[in-house]
Structure 1
């Protein structure tokens, strides 16, 4: 969801750290214990392997991996609302953010 938030603001390719930072903020809003940075990066890789995100490998020397949504952002937001009531507040924020940048 945090990569989706960045895309809904008009960003396309997002580095790992801003995605993780936004993820922590969303966990706080929903009162969820966040994953560790390492586990979160594993999940990003899983999403990349599942063709939900497209990963551009960082080339060392402090360069981070970058991610892009490989699916339509509207589809992601709609699926979140239908499949997971627990994230209702964050989904509503995503929907509002997406409407602002269209």
Structure 2
């Protein structure tokens, strides 16, 4: 928290998350664990996609996870849990490691 200064380079604040269009090299997801089904969702045969917006941080953590499109019966929460476990190489901008906004999708299908 707190107010951070630290501009200087052409007024670019390298501490804020950038969009994929603004970075020189996009964050690269190395592993994305599957989201688990909940019993209730399976019973109700709920299928679909949970779409999440998140920040892949310069320090390797995932934060600011928020659902753009969710599903009932706890599936949105399961997708968020899985999103927290994502491993990735952080984005770069002007040779610096930076945080980047991404959209993560989790498809739930019953075979």
TM-score bracket, normalised by the shorter chain, equals under 0.3
Tell me the TM-score normalized by structure 2.
Answer: 0.25
Bigger share in helix: 1
Tell me the TM-score normalized by structure 1.
Answer: 0.26
